[in-house]
Structure 1
Amino acid sequence: MDEEQDLREAIFYNKSTTEETVSTILKPETRPKSINTFLYLTAVIADLMAFAAGVSFAWSSPMLPKLDGSKDPDHNPLGRPITPSEASWIAGLVPLGAIFGPMAAGTLADKIGRKRSLLVMAAVMTLSLLTTAFAKIIHLFYISRFLLGTACGSVFSILPLFLVEIAESHNRGTVSCLSGIFVTSGFNFAFIVGPHLSVQNFCLVCISPLVIFIACFSILGAESPIYLASINDEKRLMTSLKKLRNNSAEEIQAEFRSIMKSVEQTDRRKGTIGQIVGSKSLTRALVISLGIIIFQQAAGVSAIISYMQTIFAAAGGSLSPEMYPVIVGTVQTVATALASSLVDRLGRKVLLLASAVGMCISVATLGVYFYLKNHQIQVDMISWVPVLSLVVFMMMFNIGLGPVPWVVIAELFPPNMRSTTTSLASFSCFMSSFIITLVFAAMSLHLGMANCFFVLSLICLCAGAFIFCFVPETKGKSLQEIQRSLEGNTMD
């Protein structure tokens, strides 16, 4: 009875201890005894967008050889081989579009909701792929690829936001990291299936998960409780919570009131960059968010994937070119699945640190191999080192620095700031990826492959130091508790 009285007072009176009292009382009892099937079903359906985005980014790997005439020239939809310059544009317009997509994604998610925003992006991606499937001129390829990129960039802004907001404190990491599995599965799907289909047929196959998503998500998908609270739609908020939770009616009522109270308090502030800069806790959260997302890309994963065949060829690898992306895609999927199962057990910070250290060691090993090879030292006996080093590098990336930053970024901000900051993080991610990929080519030309890898190793070491010193552990904490920890003097 005392706890119930405390809860009523915490909810209906504006005490300074409101959030602490609510979270303390609710935390032990809101942890469900069994898996909430509907919550995970909603997450899996939403993650079909991550799968489609993964396929879209990997599309150029199996399709460019068909367009430049090196493979299956009789079925080239353009009727002629594309030039190297045209190939570069077709491959580059998706990541370029992904830079611009997040700019409007946050505003869209706040205006029409997370669910409808994802459905809009699915429609844009479907239209883009249909255009590519039936395009007969190169400029239609350019337009459709750029639009596809903007939609993919928007997905990486909206989807992490949606997943964090539908999950609970004890399963938030697992639910959020599931999207990484779907992204890497999309890569593998393109690498394995793409080489065996024509450009048109592959584009039509790529539409399949989007059609399934639109049909299932329209009917079964629940809207984010945080968004429904922000527009004061109490009826739909209660319906959403009943679907997404295994809790008792009393616990759902308590969470309903806690969400409404939290949103009411944060909605008094404008969700702008200026507001973030004016707040100590939000500035700290922004520095952490941009820091880990820039380190994610500065570690060179995009460059290494882009130049993987070049790296293996320089190392003297004996595998066929088609096998490299399949190996990498498989490793990425397995590692991300492992991260999803561990992130709510070991914590975000542990996985991020282990990832940074593992990447540092593996890429430094790769640098040593190329250093020995460049100095005419016999390396035939250790020709397996580049393959193992790259496999370990990709595995460690996908255990931590790949999926986990997206979880942390969405957790660090209050509801009214979240869409703005996840969009900013997505923009920073794709912009950093674009720059690093370009810089890596120049670095390898002027510094040599060995020194490039030593530089990446140093960056990974700096990433580990940044994570250790600044990134807070958010495992098992309510979103309100995370905000209070950022306002305090420590980040632990």
Structure 2
Amino acid sequence: MNTNSLKNDDQMKPYMINVQNKFEAFIQASPKECSVPVPLVMQYGSEESVDTSAPSGIVEIDIHATKRRNLFFSTVCANFSTMAAGNAMAWSSPSIPNMMDQGLIDEYEAAWLTSMLAVGASIGPFLAYRLVESFGRKKLLILDMVLLIFSWVLLGLAPSIAPHLPVNTAVDGIQIMYVARFFSGISVGCIFMVTPMYIAEIADTRVRSALGSLFTLFLIFGYLVEYSIGPYFSSTVLVLVSFISPITCLTIFCTVLPESPLYLMGKGEREAATSALQWLRRREDVSDEIKEIEVSLEESRTTDLVSWSQLLTTRGHLKCLYYVITLILFQQLSGVTVILFYSEPILKMTSSDLSPAVGTILLAVVYMLASFWAPGLTAKFGIKRLLVLSSIGCCFFLGALAFYFYLDQVKVNLDSFKWVPVACNVLYFSFHSIGLSSGPWALMGEFYSPSIKAKSSALTASFCWMFVFILSKLFPPISISLGPAICFAVFSAFCFVCTLYIVILLPDTSGMSLFQIQKLLYEGKK
């Protein structure tokens, strides 16, 4: 054996992740990088203990790229489902203005067409919670892709299907599109629960967080594809482009990618689990990992999972739900999903020199780049401080945008300030990404103990999508009747209230272990 190699490994240890061999039944895959519902994740090794002697914001990981080639390939392919979810979520931004310009839909129908995805997505987490253990991660993702492809077929063919329905059928093209968006929402809700779970379970401990962070990047890249194609091509072309991600994911899952080894071991299929791990690790001897999985499964069977009635009646559990769901509510009341869903119509209202199509592309690029900063900043400053900074920044720039809309409404000459709306949106997303986008999901991973994590995570994700539905449904009629200035002023005010809530009521868990956090929440003691 090469002694120099051993020496180098010893030198790297202070900077490597120290993985404790204990089991948490459900944890977040990558809670610090996602602005949308992130699922409960089964994994057999948490990354709680990180050596802080490493340079600030840097965690050195010993990655043998050639040995992990199959793992990286599997992660990227699985994240095509995430990109497909981003396509579905962002479809409304370029499509709704085109359909309204052609007189195909009115404001009322536009609101329903946008918000129906959120209705389906609020159901998706509970379906995933019920089906993921019986179907498995791989099969459930395959079913999700089939459902998503079917929804795109319905959406693309809706105008052609309606005329061929029986005369006495009170169904038209727009109602078929509602159904399509509902189905796509169910698929999106399941994807947000299952894809990070699958990635966390196939990844080894040293690269799990790094691979989990790809979820956000693929999601925003899905937005970017829709924003880039939609304004310049027909709706048919946009639908065809949106087929690429789910079809790619479906094909590779059906032909190449293995099932989660953890799921296979849980079903007693030791030989299949060993074979899957051997392919993922590209080595024959995976006995140590198989033993770790066995230990984790045995420990998980001794974990007393609470019932729904216990979750909703026990004071400590309700306290955890209160903190996280309240923060999720403020996250959505900051207007992030509304702006993502209606970014092109919003920019069109501003009469900016920059075209709405280019503006939405710029916002997606900024959002993607800003997401790179979140993990390092969170590690350095803590979640609570970043939440305060994020909410203050969002409050200021939403207020500035509201003031611009007000001046425009009262006919003040703004020719010299047409750059302001785009700048405000760019800075808003920059501040949102470092705290309000990621913070609530990071706290969900800390506040929810293993005994409640499965049910609480599904409930939280469902609540989040319900908030998305309400806001995306109400925004168009309110912005038309009261003006966009009122809408953005309200969003700004909620960001201010959110700041007060975080400063006064939200516990600061920086530097605390998971045990200390649970003791603080349930007993009120550090």
Deviation at 1:121, TM superposition (A): 0.5
**Is contact 1:408-1:474 (8 Å) kept?**
no
CA distance in 2, matches of 1:473, 1:229: 35
Within-5 A mapping of 1:298-377: 298-309=333-344, 311-339=346-374, 348-371=383-406
**Is contact 1:157-1:419 (8 Å) kept?**
no
**Is contact 1:226-1:263 (8 Å) kept?**
no
**Is contact 1:344-1:475 (8 Å) kept?**
no
Deviations 1:293-315 (A, max 9, x none): 22211111233345545544554
Within-5 A mapping of 1:148-159: 148-159=184-195
Deviation at 1:432, TM superposition (A): 0.5
Name the residue aligned to 2:179.
Answer: 143
AA of the residue aligned to 2:296: I
Deviation at 1:281, TM superposition (A): 5.0
Deviations 1:341-379 (A, max 9, x none): 655666544544432232122212223444555667665
Deviation at 1:427, TM superposition (A): 1.6
Deviation at 1:189, TM superposition (A): 0.5
Name the residue aligned to 1:34.
Answer: 63
Deviation at 1:160, TM superposition (A): 4.1
C-alpha distance 365-63 of structure 1, shift in aligned 2 (>3 A): closer
AA of the residue aligned to 1:96: V
Which of 205, 208, 214 aligns to 2:244? It is 208
CA distance in 2, matches of 1:142, 1:474: 44
Deviations 1:241-289 (A, max 9, x none): 67778999797467435523441222x334x332323555543332233
Deviations 1:22-78 (A, max 9, x none): 9899977x99522674554433222211111111122234445665673xxxxxxxx
Name the residue aligned to 2:32.
Answer: none
Deviations 1:406-426 (A, max 9, x none): 454355445564443332222
CA distance in 1, matches of 2:409, 2:101: 35
Name the residue aligned to 2:472.
Answer: 437
CA distance in 1, matches of 2:75, 2:516: 24
C-alpha RMSD of matched pairs (Å): 4.2
Name the residue aligned to 1:256.
Answer: 293
Deviation at 1:107, TM superposition (A): 0.7
AA of the residue aligned to 1:295: F
**Is contact 1:122-1:214 (8 Å) kept?**
yes
Question: Which has the higher mean CA deviation after the structures are superposed, 172-181 or 61-70?
Answer: 61-70
CA distance in 1, matches of 2:445, 2:471: 24
Deviation at 1:172, TM superposition (A): 5.4
**Is contact 2:401-2:424 (8 Å) kept?**
yes
Within-5 A mapping of 1:451-490: 451-467=486-502, 469-470=505-506, 473=509, 486-487=521-522, 489=524
Residue 283 (str. 1) matches residue 306 (str. 2): no
Question: Which has the higher mean CA deviation after the structures are superposed, 402-411 or 137-146?
Answer: 402-411
Which of 89, 95, 113 aligns to 1:57? It is 89
Name the residue aligned to 1:116.
Answer: 139
CA distance in 1, matches of 2:498, 2:469: 19
Which of 414, 420, 424 aligns to 2:455? It is 420
Deviations 1:128-176 (A, max 9, x none): 2233344412154343332122211222233344445556777655443
Name the residue aligned to 2:39.
Answer: none
Name the residue aligned to 2:104.
Answer: 82
What secondary structure, in the 3-state scheme, does the structure 1 residue paired with 2:302 have?
Answer: helix
AA of the residue aligned to 1:100: I
CA distance in 2, matches of 1:43, 1:24: 19
Name the residue aligned to 2:79.
Answer: 47
Name the residue aligned to 2:154.
Answer: 131
CA distance in 1, matches of 2:412, 2:288: 67
CA distance in 2, matches of 1:224, 1:464: 41
Name the residue aligned to 2:217.
Answer: 181
What secondary structure, in the 3-state scheme, does the structure 2 residue paired with 1:34 have?
Answer: coil
Which of 425, 433, 451 aligns to 1:390? It is 425
AA of the residue aligned to 2:305: R
C-alpha distance 430-24 of structure 1, shift in aligned 2 (>3 A): closer
**Is contact 2:114-2:341 (8 Å) kept?**
no
CA distance in 1, matches of 2:272, 2:450: 17
C-alpha distance 297-165 of structure 1, shift in aligned 2 (>3 A): farther
AA of the residue aligned to 1:366: L
CA distance in 1, matches of 2:259, 2:515: 21
Deviation at 1:380, TM superposition (A): 4.5
C-alpha distance 158-249 of structure 1, shift in aligned 2 (>3 A): closer
CA distance in 2, matches of 1:228, 1:347: 37
Residue 107 (str. 1) matches residue 143 (str. 2): no
Name the residue aligned to 2:228.
Answer: 192
AA of the residue aligned to 2:134: K
Structure 2 runs not aligned, ≥5 long = 1-20, 23-44, 52-58, 163-172
- Structure with the largest fraction of helix: 1
Deviations 1:310-329 (A, max 9, x none): 54455442222322322222
AA of the residue aligned to 1:256: I
Question: Which has the higher mean CA deviation after the structures are superposed, 362-371 or 164-173?
Answer: 164-173
CA distance in 1, matches of 2:522, 2:348: 51
AA of the residue aligned to 1:33: D
Question: Which has the higher mean CA deviation after the structures are superposed, 223-232 or 121-130?
Answer: 223-232
CA distance in 2, matches of 1:226, 1:353: 38
C-alpha distance 311-140 of structure 1, shift in aligned 2 (>3 A): closer
Name the residue aligned to 1:15.
Answer: none
How does the TM-score come out when normalised to structure 1?
A: 0.76
C-alpha distance 360-196 of structure 1, shift in aligned 2 (>3 A): closer
AA of the residue aligned to 2:130: T
State, as a whole percentage, how many aligned pairs show the same letter: 26
AA of the residue aligned to 2:399: A
AA of the residue aligned to 1:125: L
Instruction: Count how many residue pairs are aligned between Structure 1 and Structure 2.
Output: 458
C-alpha distance 260-83 of structure 1, shift in aligned 2 (>3 A): closer
How does the TM-score come out when normalised to structure 2?
A: 0.72
